[in-house]
Structures are given as structure tokens and as C-alpha cells.
Amino acid sequence: MHSRRDFLQKLTATALSFPLVSGVSTEVFAHSKEVHQNEKVLKVAIMGLGSYANRVADAMKDCKRAKITGVISGTPSKVKDWQTRFNIPDKNCYNYDNFDAIKNNPDIDAVYIITPNAQHHPQTLRVAAAGKHVICEKPMSINAKEGKEMIEACKKAEVHLLIGYRMHFEANTLEIVRMQREGELGKIRFFQGLSGFRIGDPTQWRLNRELAGGGAMMDIGIYAINGSRYMIGEDPFWVTAQEVKTDPVKFKEGVDETITFQLGFPSGAIASCLSTYNMNYLDKFFLNGDNGFAEMQPSTGYGPIRSWTNKGRLDLPHVTHQTTQMEEMAAIILDGKKAVIPVDGEEGWKDMVIIDAIFESLRTGNKVEIKYA
């Protein structure tokens, strides 16, 4: 079975190293390991013990401020395996029926939800009601309405809602965002985001509309949507979109195979993006400004990320994305730290608003105004 995660891992595994361009600040990617003995540690329960959960868990072994202390799964054999690997006591193990009981468990501060997309909304509401912080994988929900309800539930419970945007903490990404924000690229005119791979097993949940909420757009296309926003530094206000489907058996009604879409931004910048489950080796960002450009390829894989600008190569040192993500999210929850690129529920909701607009454009064939309300 081939999944996005298998693809991203293979795509970046053999990337070659290049010298760093001179003069690049290292502040944006420094992964601090200097943690005082008395600093709090975020105690995390992982919900959903699939392949990506295992990647997160392995990366968290190197975390100083985030630790796996519990699990939630519907598969007893997986629970037993994780108990052995991470020394998790029976009292911190739950299934999908009884996990509301985490409310009374001081060993768990937050729950990282890594389940099929359609389950994020109800599970977030339950975790919030239990008084625990929520870290939810992207997409945060299957539509903007559900995303807004998740935000409101977490606000009511006075808990954090963070979305698993690992790229928001990645070194090359942060350096290019810094260059854009500080005007080094001049006025931004254009962004291109290409996100895709050929998906395998036709029976997997990512090709099940009821569980995934769509197809490639919900899985891989969201990278281009989110990337356009943080690379340009604005939120788009219109979209046009076109869909191509070559295999209606594999990609059933409501499960998109390939979508091209265009976004317009208040400054006049435009974005041209592609999301697909039917083309390999599509993992590229390109940002163009009056005074320079930045390019990343791979741009969102598991690393190392490769990048360059009109000034030369960046290729900043690679740190496992999920390690950095969880360290930074612990600091957000425990210390009130502000992320350079937001990872809160509002950030996730805006992507869902855009996805809703893309699907509306496909349905109507019209240019659609994006309304954040």
C-alpha cells in the first residue's frame, strides 16, 4: 500500500546535501536542546495508532518537553505494542468508547488526534469537554462549519486547539517567510504550489469519502493551500478551480483525483496550484517577487527540504519535523509562546474555508469569493 507518507519519505530520503548560502541567519531553525531541569513537560496521549502516529512517536523520543504518556485506539494489539515501546501503564490506555475518562487522568495534558479526517470533529469536541488540550492533524475537519465548532468548543473549555502543521516550524520554510516579511524579495507577485503522488491501495480510508471528506485535496492539496498563505503572507479572497478525473472507479463520486486551482490575494498576488493523487514527484513551492525569488523542492516532504533563492542555496540543517513541532507546541501550550507561522484552530479553519470554496467552484464552474465569516 502506498500512501502520501510513504511517498514523502521516499521522495526526500535520497536528496543530496548542498553548501549553505553565506549570510543566512540560523536563528529561525535553531532547535534548542537547552532545557532547564524544572521546565514543565507536556504529557501527550496519541489517538489513532497508525503509520503517521508511529512516525510522531518515534520523533518524540528526542523531545525534551513533550512525552507520550497515553494512547487511545480501537485496536487492542496496537495498544499493547505501544505500552511495551513507550512504557505506558494500563491506566493511561483507552479506546474510542471510554476515552472521555481522560478527564480524571492527571498523566495526560493533551491529546494528539491522528485519525481519519471525518473523526477529527467529534473527537476534538470530546477531548475538549474532558478539559484536555487538542493537537489535531490536518485537515482539522471535513468542512469549515465543523472547524468553527471545534474552535468554539476548545475556547469554551479553555484549552488549546493546535493543528499539525509541521512545516510551520521547518528551517527553510521559516527563512523564506522571514525574507518575504522583511521585504528582501520585494513585492510578491506569484506563488506556485504543486502537491501530488500516485496513491496505491484503492480500499484505504483516504479514498473513502465518508472518512476522508474528499480525496487528494484533503490529503496533499492542503499543503499548497496553506503554503500559498504563509509564503505570500496573506489570505486569498477568490478562487477558481478545475477537476480532472481519469479513473472514476478508483476515485468515486466525491473523491477528487486531480484539481488545479487559482487563488487571488488582496495585494494583487496570484497563486496557481495543483493537487493530485495521480502524478508522482510533485512537491514544489515557488515564490516570485519584484526583487527576488525562492524555490523549494522537496517543499513539504519529511526532509531534508531543499531550497534556494536568487541569492543562492539555503538547504538549512535538517531536524526531524515532528520533533521540532512537538517541542514548539509544548512551548505554546505550557509557556504561551507564539509561533512565527500560526498553528492554532483559526489557521486550520481558514484552510477549510478555502477548500469549501474550491469545491463550490468545481460544482458551479464559477469564480468564488472566499468569505472568512
Q: Point out the residues that are catalytic.
A: 138, 223
d(Cα 135, Cα 160) in Å, to the nearest integer?
A: 8
Angle at 299 between CA 141 and CA 192, to 5 degrees: 85
CA 104 to chain centre: 30
Of 175, 172, 196, nearest in space to 8 by CA? 196
Note whether 112 and 90 are within 8 A (CB). no
d(Cα 134, Cα 162) in Å, to the nearest integer?
A: 6
Distance in Å from the first CA to the final CA of the chain: 39
CA 97 to chain centre: 27
In the sheet that holds 238-244, the strands lie side by side as 312-313, 307-309, 292-296, 282-289, 188-196, 270-276, 258-264, 238-244, 368-369
Note whether 108 and 43 are within 8 A (CB). yes
Which residues neighbour 15 within 8 Å (Cβ) at sequence distance 6 or greater? 298, 304, 306
